[in-house]
Amino acid sequence: MPAAGRTYWLTEPCRIRREDNSIRIERPDGSPVHIPITDIRDLIAFDHIDINTSALSLLSQNGITLHVLDHYGNHAGHFTPAQSMASATVVRRQVDITANPQQRLTISRSIVLATADNLRWSLDTDLLDPALDQLRTALPQCDSNDALMGQEGNLRRTAWAVLDTQLPPWLRLNGRTRRPPTNAGNAFISYLNSLVYARVLTALRSTPLHPAIGFLHSDTDRRRNTLALDLAEPFKPLFAERLLKRAAAQKHLKETDFETDVGRAALSRNGRKKIAALVKEELATTVYHRTLKRQVSYEELIHLEALKIVRLCLEEKTYKPFRPWW
């Protein structure tokens, strides 16, 4: 998604107001910030925000999504414009493809495999190779999404154990936990995963696809946007695991950036800010795209991934999930 505004990360408690046709963000300290509405693509609220209907309707008119993350970094919800880009033709094809078990399974399988490869790439170690080989042999035999998810879970467990060897003791995961995450490492991963999910959802909103009709994740259990969860999968290693490794290696994160309790951990306000800066920088990182023949940011890679699904729906082009080529 080139041009047309940028993402604003609201890391501090603030109040969002409408002033004529622009947005005024009032922070507890200092003077308010004025942002022209055309400069906003979406807003991500990390902390408490106050917003009123006139501001919301302005956001809606301009097609801006507001994402809300809760205290633990889970994606608590989002506000999206009433008018969406959805197209009946595309959604019908999407339903057809996902209703066909064979086609659905092929796509799920390729997502799981790509995610595993990306994990291996982001951890940059051959300790994961035996587990990967095992996954490769097991995948063709899996004949349901549950079996696929099980295989993915196995690989993920191994990968997190490997990741632990590359981290300082206080940041280790010691087994993945969610809702709420139990330690600092898990809190970090949860946070990043929901950020990636929010980015994918925004990307999907700019395409005619329906975010709830997906391939890999089951679409009944948690009533989430299945397609967004699916497409987030191959990108998670690129952001979550890799940034955790980097933050640890550069001693960028401190223990004080987390609020650790018995059995639960969350990022402190300062930690949230640090991570927002980290992710923002990461999303803006560019690589050369070989067929587009230009630099694309990681953010745009997510958008291009969503377009692949549109291509699958409109032209039956095979979906090849994202793999880093650099």
Partner 1 sequence: MNPHEPTADPLGGVHIKYLRHCPRQLWLYMRGYRPEANSDLVAFGEVVDATTFTRRRHVDLGEARIDWVTAGAVIHETKSSRTPSPAHEAQVRHYCLLLERRGINIRGGILHYPLIRRTTDVPWNDDARTQAEDTETEAHTVIAAPTPPERLTRSKCRGCSYLDYCWGN
Q: Which residues are annotated as a binding site for Mn(2+)?
A: 152, 217, 233
Distances (CA, A) of 258 to 33, 67, 104, 171, 315: 28, 22, 40, 10, 47
Burial (0-12, 13-18, 19+ Cβ within 10 Å), 42: buried
User: In whole angstroms, how close is the CB of 66 to partner 1 at the nearest point?
Assistant: 18
Across the beta sheet with 40-45, the strand order is 6-10, 40-45, 65-69, 75-79
φ/ψ of residue 77, rounded to 5: 160, 175
User: In whole angstroms, how close is the CB of 2 to partner 1 at the nearest point?
Assistant: 6
User: In whole angstroms, how close is the CB of 202 to partner 1 at the nearest point?
Assistant: 12
How far is Cα 303 from Cα 280, in angstroms, rounded to an integer?
16
- Which residue's CB is nearer to partner 1, number 76 or number 86? 86
Amino acid symbol at 135? L
φ/ψ of residue 243, rounded to 5: -70, -35
How far is Cα 104 from Cα 276, in angstroms, rounded to an integer?
35
- Which residue's CB is nearer to partner 1, number 38 or number 270? 38
- Which residue's CB is nearer to partner 1, number 196 or number 310? 310
- Which residue's CB is nearer to partner 1, number 80 or number 151? 80
How far is Cα 279 from Cα 252, in angstroms, rounded to an integer?
13
User: In whole angstroms, how close is the CB of 84 to partner 1 at the nearest point?
Assistant: 11
Output the known binding site: 152, 217, 233
- Which residue's CB is nearer to partner 1, number 72 or number 322? 322
- Which residue's CB is nearer to partner 1, number 76 or number 292? 292
Amino acid symbol at 220? T
User: In whole angstroms, how close is the CB of 290 to partner 1 at the nearest point?
Assistant: 10
| Residues engaged in binding partner 1 (CB under 8 A) | 1-4, 38, 63, 85-90, 92-93, 206-208, 289, 291-293, 300, 303-304, 307-308, 310-311, 314-315, 317, 320
How far is Cα 4 from Cα 23, in angstroms, rounded to an integer?
16
User: In whole angstroms, how close is the CB of 89 to partner 1 at the nearest point?
Assistant: 5
How far is Cα 201 from Cα 231, in angstroms, rounded to an integer?
9
How far is Cα 309 from Cα 135, in angstroms, rounded to an integer?
25
- Which residue's CB is nearer to partner 1, number 90 or number 266? 90
Burial (0-12, 13-18, 19+ Cβ within 10 Å), 156: buried
User: In whole angstroms, how close is the CB of 37 to partner 1 at the nearest point?
Assistant: 13
